[in-house]
């Protein structure tokens, strides 16, 4: 699975959750997206986990700083394309 | 190109200049602040620390004594913290400034400030009027023996035979002054005092009104008919026990709230007059002394202190006069007394409220010294350890001005006078009663004064032993129409 | 020992500061801070000092295990550490509460333990837990020096009431601290402002709350109840944020940058935003270490939310009203989440302000009344349920005699000072004016607060002659 494919999938997940077209970049953080608060964070994590057939560790959930970090974890652990 | 370099150079210089300015301002700011802190620190450590507060009428915290247990439980270190603040140099003056600052928190509407005044309808105590009051009035003969039988009472006739039973606890020795072994006179009763002042204040609320020399603090009043009925019932039982040889009198003393609270604020308080009026028809062979009316006739004179919770000696004079008329005893006119003025008096209402207006408007405390000759002896609350002293404690500090009469409440005073009419008056009172006493020196041959809260014997037996002819219950409405009955019953039945 | 106390300000702190600055040596400075931190703790609660030391030692040891090479040992150490730290809280803060409720539930009458509450235990256990988890998550390396670790656990500016400082926040500064004049200036200004907030505003406001709420609740008018709750909300804000300011300011004197704890919470337009501005370090602690606990499966958003707000409530005190208070806020945050930010944004701003201020006001009422019966009377009173009148005249007298205080309290709860300062400092002249004004204000706040602190130590012997 390529990085690009992950971004395409993530863009779709985020756009669905926030109900508007969103394009993510590696350096995108919660501050950049209006409404990405700690509760939405749970929704995002949940959707990403289902989409890629993987699990985040609790430490990762609370310490990942930007989308880039999330993508790295997905690439390392994804079981679904 | 050159120009650009130039302008950016200028910008850098300007930024540097701004940085320098900020740094200088920061330096000054830090220096000034630290100077202030260290100055105050030095003052705290070097200047003399007071050990008494005139304002709060108490000794200040002492530096704690070291012990390993006090260190371990933290009382030692907490004690040091408390000591540091409580005995700060010039602490009383600083407290005045602090209260002035607090006063700036706002302004006074209608020249009024309310301290803990509760919105009406004020929680009235449950009132079950006739049922409660009637039994004691009608039933005494039936109910009294079971209640009090074992200790004393019984029919009024065999009074003289009773003492053997009641006397052992009373102990005769007082007159012969035996025990030098009992010097600690009255300390226990102090700690037993169930009246928590803070609670009292919170319950009642105080309105400070007026300005200048008309500033006055008025405490709200929540006495009840039910409590009044219990008080009367107790007096009736005393009368029953003492028989026809002893006149029993009830003087319920009204306070400022009865005379000086404007109509507008009446809704925040209950009526003392209502309670007093309620008491009169319930009295059985006990005579009412109309202090309310006696004071009402003189409301334009300084009969009640403005800054203290007590009445003024002048008010006590008019009430005493009414009593003397009722009792048929001689009474000296005010002009025969030596008048003493003490200026600068700020009473307890200031301590209650911390209201600067009271502090800033002290009053003159005027009292009157009788011209005839008399001698005063003080006893402990169990009537031991007689000590001759003065009726007037004229050396008390101005902040205790009302304490000029009899000093403290926690002792029994006996005054022998040159009025040889064979009548002995026992006054059972709270601190309001103290102001009455000097005016009786020309009216009774012997006057015994005890506080109802600080008396360790049986009062009925005591009356008989002392040959009391007149028993006067004189206390403010807060006591009589409040908590007093319980004490009276305890003194009667113990 | 409290910060807003003359003994601390004029004895403890000056001595500590002077000794700290006599040398530039970092080890020496840390030693001074550690000594005074332990002294500070012992001064307040000597009996509990051994517990603090033991907890620090154990967590220090476990932290190294967690970062060790054996995964099984690391995991066991983490579990042990968190259970121990939470166990401290449960035993020392909640055992009486739990026993009472257990008794009430089962009808048993187990003896209710009377355990003294160790100073600052709510805060230092959180510092320890965050340390263990951060080490586990490799956010930070474990501390190698026990004395530095002990300094982190006991650091006196945040011992008693926070902020909840994490190891990651100050791990760099534990080693190297540069202290500039600007740092000192920011520090003393923060101390002065915090002191003023606490002693002048919070304590005077407390007098009003006391007068209204300490007595018979049922006789308060409807407006009186609301007034009391608003005053109490302001009082709590100034009390707590003032304390945090002092903590941050004192730490700044010694070169530490503590995280901010309050950010003008009353300007919020949603309840979620309120909690991003009120007690920030606690909220982020619960967010980072509790919200994402993966124990609930797919509905974990709501269960996580429940857990966070239940814990937030209970953390504030061992009493049901605090739990109710926490869940009450959780409920509104859930509602806001269900409605969605976009739709909330379409609601007019004044309506959003009104909504948040109402919720916050009632919330502080719940916070005040630890006695459930009185809490019930208060909630009923807010809506006239006690048969109480809508308006009582005593309210007017209270408003008048506290008019300036209340006006100042409302004004300074909004970000006016930063705004004015920013405007002013745009020109060099303004910069000077601002500097002079700030310094004058600092000294005034210090002096006035000192007078009021001394005045507060008042215990008149009232009934000397009743």
Token reading at C388 = 């109480």
Least confidently predicted of A62-66, B8-12, C352-356: B8-12
DSSP conformation class of C260: P
Exposure string over A42-65, b if 16+ CB within 10 A, otherwise e? bbbbbbbbebbeeebebbbbbbbe
Q: Give the tokens for residue B392.
A: 């007037």
pLDDT given for residue B56 in this prediction: 74
- The winner for highest mean pLDDT among B152-161, B169-178, B305-314 is B305-314
Q: Does the pLDDT of residue B189 top 70, yes or no?
A: no
- The confidence score (pLDDT) of residue B304 equals 96
Decide which of C158, C176, C194 is a domain's last residue.
C176
Average pLDDT rounded to a whole number, residues C339-351:
87
pLDDT at C183 (0 to 100): 92
CATH number at residue A47: 1.10.1200.10
Same domain? C438 vs C313: yes
Ordered alpha helix ranges (H), C90-221: 95-106, 121-136, 146-154, 167-175, 181-196, 203-213
More confident residue, B4 or C451: C451
C201-232 pLDDT, tens digit per residue, is 999 999 899 888 887 788 788 999 999 999 99
**Residue A59: its chain C contacts at CB < 8 A?**
133, 136-139
As a whole number of angstroms, the distance between CA B160 and CA B467 comes to 11
pLDDT at A15 over 70: yes
Q: Which of C141, C176, C211 is a domain's end point?
A: C176
Residues C139 and C232 in one domain: no
A32: pLDDT strictly greater than 80: yes
- Please report the pLDDT score of residue A22 as a whole number: 85
Give pLDDT, residue B195: 46
- Shortest CA distance to B341 belongs to which of B304, B374, B312? B312
pLDDT of residue B144: 33
- C463 in a domain, yes or no? no
Q: Which chains form contacts with chain A, at 3 or more CB pairs under 8 Å?
A: C
> Please, which residues have CB within 8 angstroms of residue B200's CB and are 6 or more apart in sequence?
none
Measured between CB atoms, does B12 come within 8 Å of chain C? no
CA dihedral B181, B186, B187, B192 (to 10 degrees): 130
What confidence category does residue C296 fall into, taking pLDDT thresholds of 50, 70 and 90?
A: low
A38 touches chain C (CB under 8 A): yes
Query: Are C150 and C246 in the same domain?
Result: no
Pairwise CA distance, residues B433 & B454, whole Å? 14
Contact across the interface for A42 and C304, Cβ inside 8 Å: yes
B125 interfaces chain C, CB cutoff of 8 Å: no
Length of chain C counted residue by residue: 466
Query: Which residues of A fall within a CB distance of 8 Å from C136?
Result: 59
- Say how far apart CA B411 and CA B376 lie, in whole Å: 12
Q: Domain range holding C375?
A: 183-456
How many residues are recorded in chain A? 81
C87 and C225 share a domain?
A: no
pLDDT band at A81 (very low <50, low <70, confident <90, very high): low
CB B311 within 8 A of CB B367: no
The neighbouring-strand residues paired with B109 are B112
- When pLDDT is averaged across residues B199-225 and rounded to a whole number, the result is 84
Give domain status of residue C1, yes or no.
no
Q: How far apart are CA A45 and CA C27, in angstroms?
A: 44
Assign B279 a pLDDT band (cuts: 50, 70, 90): very high
Q: Please count the other Cβ atoms lying within 10 Å of the Cβ belonging to residue C267.
A: 14
What is the arithmetic mean of pLDDT over B347-367? 89
What whole-number percentage of chain B has pLDDT above 90? 58
DSSP structure string for C110-125: PPPP-----TTHHHHH
The answer to whether A46 contacts chain C (CB < 8 Å) is yes
C311 to chain B, minimum CA–CA distance in Å?
Answer: 31
Mean pLDDT, residues B132-140 taken together: 33
Q: Is A59 on the interface with C (CB under 8 A)?
A: yes
For chain A, the domain total comes to 1
Q: Compute the CA torsion angle C312, C313, C314, C316 (nearest 10 deg).
A: 90
SS (H, E, C) C27-72: HHHHHHHHHHHHHHHHHHHHHHHHHHHHHHHHHHHHHHHHCCCCHH
- Strand pairing class (B286-288; B247-253): parallel
Chain C residue at shortest CA distance from B68: C46
Question: Which residues in chain A touch residue C294, judged by CB atoms under 8 angstroms apart?
Answer: 55, 58, 61
Q: Cα–Cα–Cα angle for B259, B262, B265, nearest 5°?
A: 115
For C396-423, what is the mean pLDDT? 93
Whether residue C217 lies inside any domain: the answer is yes
The yes-or-no verdict on residue B1 having pLDDT over 60 is: no
Lay out the sheet containing B216-219: strands in order across: B113-115, B206-209, B216-219
Helix ranges (H only) for C369-427 are: 372-382, 393-401, 403-412, 416-424
Which residues are paired to B365 by β-bridges? B342
In this complex, the residue of C394, C436, C465 whose CB is nearest that of residue B117 is C394
The position carrying tokens 């200049």 is: B17
Does a structural domain hold residue C466? no
- Give the best residue of C8, C10, C404 to mutate against chain B (max B CB count within 10 A): C10
Confidence at B197, pLDDT banded by 50, 70, 90: very low
State chain C's mean pLDDT as an integer: 89
Whether C329 and C450 share a structural domain: yes
Task: Give B376's strand partners.
Answer: B389, B415
Chain C residue at shortest CA distance from A20: C342
Report d(CA B399, CA B385) in Å as an integer: 29
Q: So what's the pLDDT on residue B460?
A: 93
Indicate the number of domains in chain C. 2
> Which has the minimum average pLDDT: A17-26, B25-34, B240-249, B363-372?
A17-26
Residues C153, C206 within the same domain: no
DSSP B181-226: T----SHHHHHH----HHHHHHHH-EEEE--GGG-EEEE-----HH
Tell me the pairing of strands B113-115 and B206-209: antiparallel
Q: What is the pLDDT of residues A33-61, one digit of tens each?
A: 877 888 788 888 888 888 888 888 888 88
How many other CB atoms are there within 10 angstroms of residue B395's CB atom?
9
Q: Is the pLDDT of residue C65 over 70?
A: yes
Give the model's pLDDT for residue B202: 52
Place of tokens 């349920």: C385
Q: Which residues in chain C (265-284) have CB-CB distances under 8 A to chain A?
A: 272
Q: Hey, which residues of C are catalytic here? A: 316
Regarding whether C190 and C277 lie in a shared domain, the answer is yes
- Cβ distance C301 to A42 less than 8 Å, yes or no, reads yes
In a domain, C71, yes or no: yes
Residue C107 within a domain: yes
Q: What stretches of B109-187 adopt beta strand conformation (E)?
A: 113-115
User: Given a cut of 90, is residue B234 above it in pLDDT?
Assistant: yes
Q: Measure B421 CA to nearest chain C CA, in Å.
A: 32
Residue B473 · residue B429 · CB < 8 Å: yes
pLDDT in tens, C357-373: 999 999 999 999 988 88
Beta strands B470-476 and B247-253: pairing type? parallel
Please tell me chain C's helix, strand, coil percentages from 3-state DSSP, rounded to the nearest 5.
75, 0, 25
* Structural domain of A70: 3-77
* pLDDT tens, residue by residue, B395-420: 888 888 888 998 777 889 999 999 89
In this prediction, residues B23-51 reach a mean pLDDT of 94
Structure tokens at C175: 């080693």
pLDDT of residue B166: 30
Chain A residues with beta carbon closer than 8 angstroms to that of C298: 46
Is the predicted pLDDT of residue B191 greater than 70, yes or no? Answer: no
Rounded CA separation C271/B468 (Å): 75
Closest-CA distance, C324 to chain B, in angstroms, reads 29
Give the pLDDT of residue C291. Answer: 80
The reply to whether residue B117 touches residue C400, judged by beta carbons under 8 angstroms, is no
**What is each CA distance from B209 to B115, B269, B299, C19, C323, in whole angstroms?**
11, 15, 17, 53, 44
Question: Is A37 at the interface with chain C, CB within 8 A?
Answer: yes
pLDDT number for residue C301: 73
Task: Give CA–CA dist C77/C81, Å, rounded.
Answer: 6
Q: Is the pLDDT of residue A67 over 50?
A: yes
Q: Tell me: do C163 and C283 sit in the same domain.
A: no
Please list every residue in chain A whose beta carbon sits closer than 8 Å to the beta carbon of residue C272.
Answer: 37
More confident residue, B181 or B362: B362
The pLDDT value recorded for residue B16 is: 81
Residues in CB range of B319: below 8 A, 6 or more apart: B251, B253, B289, B291, B294, B295, B436
The number of C-beta contacts closer than 8 angstroms across B and C is 225
The pLDDT-based confidence of B136 (bands split at 50, 70, 90) is very low
pLDDT at A62: 81
Tens-digit pLDDT profile for residues C138-178: 888 999 999 999 999 999 998 888 799 999 888 889 888 88
The answer to the question of residue C347 being in a domain is yes
Which of C160, C176, C192 is the last residue in one of the domains? C176
Give CA–CA dist C41/C160, Å, rounded.
Answer: 9
Residue A3: pLDDT above 90? no
> Which of the residue ranges B158-167, C124-133, C306-315, C378-387 would you say has the lowest mean pLDDT?
B158-167
- State how far the Cα of A57 lies from the Cα of B289, in Å rounded to an integer: 87
Asked if B413 and B376 count as a contact pair (C-beta separation under 8 A), the reply is: yes
Instruction: List the structure tokens of B465.
Output: 């032993």
- Which chain C residues are closer than 8 Å to A41 by Cβ? 292
Mean pLDDT, residues B279-297: 95
Tell how strand B424-429 and strand B470-476 pair up. parallel
Mean pLDDT of B101-115: 90
B in contact with C (at least 3 C-beta pairs within 8 A) = yes
Q: Check residue C36 and give its pLDDT.
A: 96
Whether the per-residue pLDDT at B4 is higher than 60: the answer is no
Whether residue B40 and residue C10 make contact (CB cut-off 8 A), yes or no, is: yes
pLDDT for the residue numbered B122? 53
Distance of CA B388 to the CA centre of its chain: 25
State which residue of chain A sits closest to C289, comparing Cα positions: A62
pLDDT of A24 reads 87
Residue matched to tokens 């699975």: A1
Residue B374 near residue B388 (C-beta atoms within 8 A) = no
């Amino acid at each position: 699975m390529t990085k690009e494919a992950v971004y395409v999938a993530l863009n779709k997940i985020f756009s669905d959750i926030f109900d508007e077209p969103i394009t993510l970049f590696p350096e995108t953080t919660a501050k950049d997206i209006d409404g990405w608060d700690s509760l939405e964070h749970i929704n995002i994590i949940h959707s990403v986990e289902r989409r890629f057939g993987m699990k985040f560790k609790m430490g990762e959930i609370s310490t990942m700083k930007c989308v880039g970090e999330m993508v790295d974890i997905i690439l390392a652990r994804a079981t679904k394309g | 190109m050159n120009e650009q370099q130039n302008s950016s150079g200028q910008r850098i210089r300007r930024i540097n200049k701004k940085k320098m300015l900020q740094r200088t301002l920061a330096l000054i700011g830090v220096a000034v602040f630290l100077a202030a802190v260290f100055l105050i620190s030095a003052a705290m450590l070097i200047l003399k620390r007071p050990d008494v507060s005139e304002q709060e009428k108490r000794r200040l915290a002492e530096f704690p004594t070291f012990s390993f247990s006090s260190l371990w439980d933290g009382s030692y270190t907490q004690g040091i913290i408390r000591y540091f603040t409580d005995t700060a140099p010039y602490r009383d003056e600083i407290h005045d400034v602090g209260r002035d600052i607090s006063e700036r928190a706002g302004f006074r509407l209608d020249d009024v400030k309310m301290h803990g005044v509760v919105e009406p309808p004020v929680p009235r105590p449950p009132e079950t009027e006739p049922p409660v009051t009637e039994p004691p009035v009608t039933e005494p003969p039936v109910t009294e023996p079971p209640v009090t039988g074992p200790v004393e009472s019984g029919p009024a006739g065999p009074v003289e035979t009773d003492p053997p039973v009641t006397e052992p606890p009373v102990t005769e020795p007082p007159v012969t002054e035996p025990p030098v072994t009992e010097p600690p006179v009255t300390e226990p009763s102090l700690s037993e005092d169930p009246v928590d002042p803070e609670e009292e204040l919170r319950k009642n609320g105080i309105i400070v009104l007026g300005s200048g020399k008309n500033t006055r603090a008025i405490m709200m009043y929540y006495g009840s008919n039910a409590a009044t009925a219990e008080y009367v019932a107790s007096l009736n039982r005393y009368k029953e026990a003492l028989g026809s040889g002893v006149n029993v009198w009830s003087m319920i003393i009204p306070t400022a709230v009865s005379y000086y609270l404007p109509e507008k604020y009446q809704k925040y308080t209950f009526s003392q007059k209502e309670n007093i009026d309620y008491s009169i028809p319930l009295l059985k062979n006990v005579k009412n002394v109309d202090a309310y009316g006696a004071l009402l006739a003189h409301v334009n004179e300084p009969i009640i202190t403005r800054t203290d919770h007590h009445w003024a000696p002048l008010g006590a004079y008019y009430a005493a006069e009414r009593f003397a008329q009722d009792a048929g005893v001689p009474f000296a006119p005010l002009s025969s007394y030596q008048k003493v003025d003490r200026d600068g008096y700020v009473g307890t209402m200031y301590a209650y409220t911390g209201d600067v207006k009271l502090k800033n408007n002290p009053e003159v405390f005027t009292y009157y010294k009788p011209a005839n000759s008399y001698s005063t002896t003080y006893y402990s609350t169990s009537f031991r350890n007689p000590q001759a002293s003065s009726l007037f404690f004229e050396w008390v500090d101005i902040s205790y001005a009302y304490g000029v009469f009899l000093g403290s409440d926690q002792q029994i005073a006996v005054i022998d006078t040159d009025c040889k009419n064979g009548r002995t008056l026992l006054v059972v009172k709270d601190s309001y009663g103290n102001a009455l006493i000097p005016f009786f020196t020309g009216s009774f041959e012997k006057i015994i004064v005890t506080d109802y809260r600080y008396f360790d014997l049986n009062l009925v037996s005591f009356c008989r032993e002392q040959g009391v002819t007149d028993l006067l219950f004189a206390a403010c409405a807060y006591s009589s129409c409040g908590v007093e009955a319980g004490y009276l019953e305890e003194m009667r039945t113990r | 020992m409290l910060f807003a106390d003359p003994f601390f300000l004029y004895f403890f702190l000056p001595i500590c500061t002077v000794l700290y600055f006599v040398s530039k040596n970092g080890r020496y400075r840390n030693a001074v801070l550690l000594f005074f931190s332990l002294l500070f703790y012992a001064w307040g609660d000597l009996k509990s000092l051994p517990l603090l030391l033991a907890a620090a030692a154990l967590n220090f040891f476990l932290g190294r295990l967690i970062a060790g090479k054996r995964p099984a040992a690391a995991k066991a150490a983490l579990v042990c550490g968190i259970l121990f730290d939470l166990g401290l809280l449960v035993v020392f803060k909640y055992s009486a509460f739990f026993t009472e409720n257990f008794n009430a539930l089962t009808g048993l009458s187990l003896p209710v333990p009377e355990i003294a509450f160790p100073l600052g235990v709510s805060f230092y256990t959180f510092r320890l837990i965050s340390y263990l988890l951060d080490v586990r998550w490799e956010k930070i390396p474990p501390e190698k020096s026990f004395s530095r670790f002990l300094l982190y656990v006991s650091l006196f500016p945040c011992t008693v009431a926070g902020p909840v400082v994490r190891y990651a926040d100050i791990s760099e500064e534990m080693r190297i601290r540069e202290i500039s004049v600007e740092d000192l200036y920011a520090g003393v200004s923060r101390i002065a402002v915090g002191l003023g907030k606490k002693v002048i505003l919070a304590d005077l406001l407390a007098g009003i709350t006391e007068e209204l709420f300490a007595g018979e609740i049922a006789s308060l008018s409807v407006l009186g109840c609301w007034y009391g709750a608003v005053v109490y909300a302001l009082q709590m804000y100034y009390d707590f944020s003032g304390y945090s300011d002092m903590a941050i300011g004192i730490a700044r004197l010694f070169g530490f940058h503590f995280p901010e704890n309050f950010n003008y919470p009353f300007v919020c337009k949603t309840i979620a935003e309120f909690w991003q501005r009120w007690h920030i370090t606690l909220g982020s602690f619960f967010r980072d270490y509790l919200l994402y606990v993966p124990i609930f499966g797919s509905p974990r958003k709501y269960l996580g939310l429940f857990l966070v707000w239940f814990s937030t409530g209970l953390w504030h005190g061992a009493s049901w009203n605090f739990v109710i208070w926490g869940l009450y806020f959780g409920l509104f945050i859930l509602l806001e989440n269900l409605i969605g930010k976009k739709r909330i944004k379409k609601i007019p701003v004044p309506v959003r302000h009104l909504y948040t201020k109402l919720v916050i006001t009632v919330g502080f009422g719940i916070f005040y009344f630890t006695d459930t019966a009185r809490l019930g009377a208060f909630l009923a009173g807010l809506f006239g349920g006690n048969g109480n009148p809508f308006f009582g005249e005593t309210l007017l007298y209270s408003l008048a005699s506290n008019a300036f205080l209340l006006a100042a309290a409302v004004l300074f709860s909004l970000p006016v000072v930063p705004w004015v300062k920013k405007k002013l400092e745009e020109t060099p002249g303004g910069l000077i004016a601002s500097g002079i004004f700030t310094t004058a204000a600092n000294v005034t706040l210090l002096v006035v607060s000192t007078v009021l602190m001394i005045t507060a130590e008042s215990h008149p012997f009232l009934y000397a002659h009743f």
